[in-house]
Amino acid sequence: MRVNRTFSKVMVILVVAAMLPALFAGEALAAESSNGCFIVELWDGSGYKQVADISFGQFQKESGVFIGIAENPKIRIRKEAEGLAFLDSVLLDGAAASGSDKLKKTDFDVLEITNEGVELLFAGSFGGNLSLTGRIEPKDVGGYPFMLPTVNLFIEDPAELKEFFTYEIGSNIGSVTADGQYEDLGEPFETEYLKPDTGHPDGYAYIYVFNDNEYLYAAADFTSDNTYDYGDDFFKVFVKQGDAVKEFKQTSSGHEYGAGAMQYTDKVEYEHMYYEVRIPLDSLGGRDELQLAFSLYGTSATNPPEDEPEIKTYSVFYHPNGGSGTVPLDMNKYYPGDKVTLLPGDGLVKPGYTFAGWALQDDTGVSSPYTMGSRDVTFFAVWSAVPKIPKTDDEAEAAGFVMLILGIALLAGLWIRKHKFS
Ligand SMILES: [Ca+2]
Ligand SMILES: [Ca+2]
Ligand SMILES: [Ca+2]
């Protein structure tokens, strides 16, 4: 009877677990901080079949999903989102796919994922644990450009800029081919460490300034912008002339004064925005000294502290619930609506019991993926008793009979030995 009751409890947990994704689906769609999802599809020989959809927000994170055991799987990942979506790495059981070098490791070298998606071929036999690291931007990222000198942050009108650097004409004679293609520029004129709050990496901006007889040249190595934003990225040079400030803006898609392009430079390992411009000296009033300021934007941007959007994330904890051994540890931060891949409990043991999954504190069973709510959550191990084979009276009698026969045999042996030696 005890055994039967345990089994029925497990059945209830399984049924409830199967219903959970449906119960939470509405909540997932309503979550504001998720900007969309990556759709994971598996090629089955005749077409792609969706195996998972994983929601992502503006900040880069890792998320795992089990896609099933597979042999040389072909996977397609596409976005379902209004904003731009980027993947940094896609690994299957820790292995990279052939094809895209950018997706082989998590290093801020990111690939934009479109609605059409990217196809990945994994060679070999796989257990099926797929891990995506990436982020999805909101449709409008907004934010303020970075300013150098930094005292000019959040000033939108060039005429209001507070401070400028001084560049003496002739102090750094040279030139650049202003094509947006990286070239060695020697020592930077200014260096500033930037911390975007838009999901882009923290990193230095290096500004270079040169001149020859005809042009002022400026270049910007903007390591905090690892995304190409189709002309929304820009580098501006401000030149103060008396009370007026002239603005020279170079975007990532046009050729206003030179060019901006995604490049690998000697400063960081990942591709990022790099700009080169040249400005005719005669448009700058033929001065001996120039008062210069700069700004950089790439949807990589900053916000005044009070304007920072409050994006709360939540954590997942695992509780052994009377078991012992290795308790799973999930370091990820989740937005409400995120899909949480439950970690296996195979490192946990409890004598006389087998691990039967995870449940919430109120005993409600959960299945993978669990849809994150707007609070931290703890999953408790569910233990199901190993059924014991009960001894019936008949079996006890049979055992007693065997013991009796053995006893008689032993006595008989002793009797034989005794008579043999006497
Ligand atoms: Ca990468
Ligand atoms: Ca160049
Ligand atoms: Ca960008």
Q: What is the mean pLDDT of residues 380-409?
A: 66
Record the tokens describing residue 251, joined without a space.
């975007």
Strand, coil or helix: what is 136? Answer: strand
What is the C-alpha to C-alpha distance for residues 316 and 321, in angstroms, rounded to an integer? Answer: 15
Res. 405 pLDDT band, cuts 50 70 90: low
Res. 58 pLDDT band, cuts 50 70 90: very high
**152 CA to middle of ligand 3, Å?**
21
- pLDDT value for 397: 54
State the pairing for strand pair 146-148/289-297. Answer: antiparallel
- Res. 11: pLDDT tops 50: no
**136 CA to middle of ligand 3, Å?**
13
Nearest ligand to the CA atom of 91 = 1
- Phi and psi at 102, nearest 5°, equal -65, -30
**196 CA to middle of ligand 1, Å?**
19
Nearest ligand to the CA atom of 184 = 2
What is the C-alpha to C-alpha distance for residues 268 and 208, in angstroms, rounded to an integer? Answer: 17
Nearest ligand to the CA atom of 232 = 3
**225 CA to middle of ligand 3, Å?**
5
**205 CA to middle of ligand 1, Å?**
21
Nearest ligand to the CA atom of 180 = 2
**105 CA to middle of ligand 1, Å?**
5
What is the C-alpha to C-alpha distance for residues 88 and 66, in angstroms, rounded to an integer? Answer: 19
The H or E element that residue 236 is part of is strand 234-241
- pLDDT value for 287: 80
Percent of the chain surpassing pLDDT 90: 76
**369 CA to middle of ligand 1, Å?**
25
Note whether 62 and 88 are within 8 A (CB).
Answer: no
**274 CA to middle of ligand 2, Å?**
9
**212 CA to middle of ligand 2, Å?**
16
State the pairing for strand pair 377-385/316-319. Answer: parallel
pLDDT digits (tens, 9 = 90+) for 323-366: 999 899 998 889 889 999 999 998 999 999 999 999 999 999 99
Q: What is the mean pLDDT of residues 224-229?
A: 98
Res. 33 pLDDT band, cuts 50 70 90: confident
Long-range contacts of 18-22 (CB under 8 A, 24+ apart): 18/367, 20/364, 20/366, 20/367, 20/370, 20/371, 21/367, 21/369, 21/371
For residue 15, give the amino acid letter.
V
pLDDT digits (tens, 9 = 90+) for 99-149: 789 999 999 999 999 999 999 999 999 999 999 999 999 999 999 999 999
**372 CA to middle of ligand 3, Å?**
30
Strand, coil or helix: what is 228? Answer: coil
What is the C-alpha to C-alpha distance for residues 348 and 318, in angstroms, rounded to an integer? Answer: 11
Note whether 207 and 189 are within 8 A (CB).
Answer: yes
Nearest Cα to Cα of residue 352 among 386, 383, 381, 384: 386
The residues, any chain, with a CB within 8 Å of residue 170's CB and separated by 6 or more, are: 211
Q: What is the mean pLDDT of residues 384-410?
A: 61
Res. 412 pLDDT band, cuts 50 70 90: low
**298 CA to middle of ligand 3, Å?**
4
What is the C-alpha to C-alpha distance for residues 113 and 160, in angstroms, rounded to an integer? Answer: 39
Nearest Cα to Cα of residue 238 among 296, 316, 320: 296
Q: In the chain, what is the straight-line distance between the N-terminal and C-terminal CA atoms, in Å? A: 59
What is the C-alpha to C-alpha distance for residues 169 and 290, in angstroms, rounded to an integer? Answer: 7
Nearest Cα to Cα of residue 142 among 61, 183, 83, 201: 83
Nearest ligand to the CA atom of 224 = 3
Nearest ligand to the CA atom of 270 = 1
- pLDDT value for 233: 98
- pLDDT value for 266: 95
Q: What is the mean pLDDT of residues 372-393?
A: 84
pLDDT digits (tens, 9 = 90+) for 277-289: 999 999 998 789 9
To the nearest whole number, what is the mean pLDDT of the chain?
A: 87
Nearest ligand to the CA atom of 89 = 1
**118 CA to middle of ligand 1, Å?**
14
- Domains in the chain (CATH in brackets) are 34-140 (no CATH), 146-307 (2.60.40), 312-402 (2.60.40.4270)
Nearest ligand to the CA atom of 297 = 3
- pLDDT value for 389: 67
Note whether 277 and 210 are within 8 A (CB).
Answer: no
Predicted structure pTM score: 0.67
Note whether 124 and 69 are within 8 A (CB).
Answer: no
CA distances (Å), 176 to each of 132, 183, 239, 273, 293, in order? 39, 8, 19, 17, 19
Neighbours of 215 (CB within 10 A): 21
Neighbours of 377 (CB within 10 A): 17
Look at the chain and count its residues: 422
Nearest Cα to Cα of residue 83 among 298, 197, 222, 229: 229
pLDDT digits (tens, 9 = 90+) for 297-319: 999 999 988 755 566 889 999 99
Nearest Cα to Cα of residue 57 among 338, 306, 330: 338
Nearest ligand to the CA atom of 271 = 1
Record the tokens describing residue 405, joined without a space.
């026969």
- pLDDT value for 331: 87
**107 CA to middle of ligand 1, Å?**
5
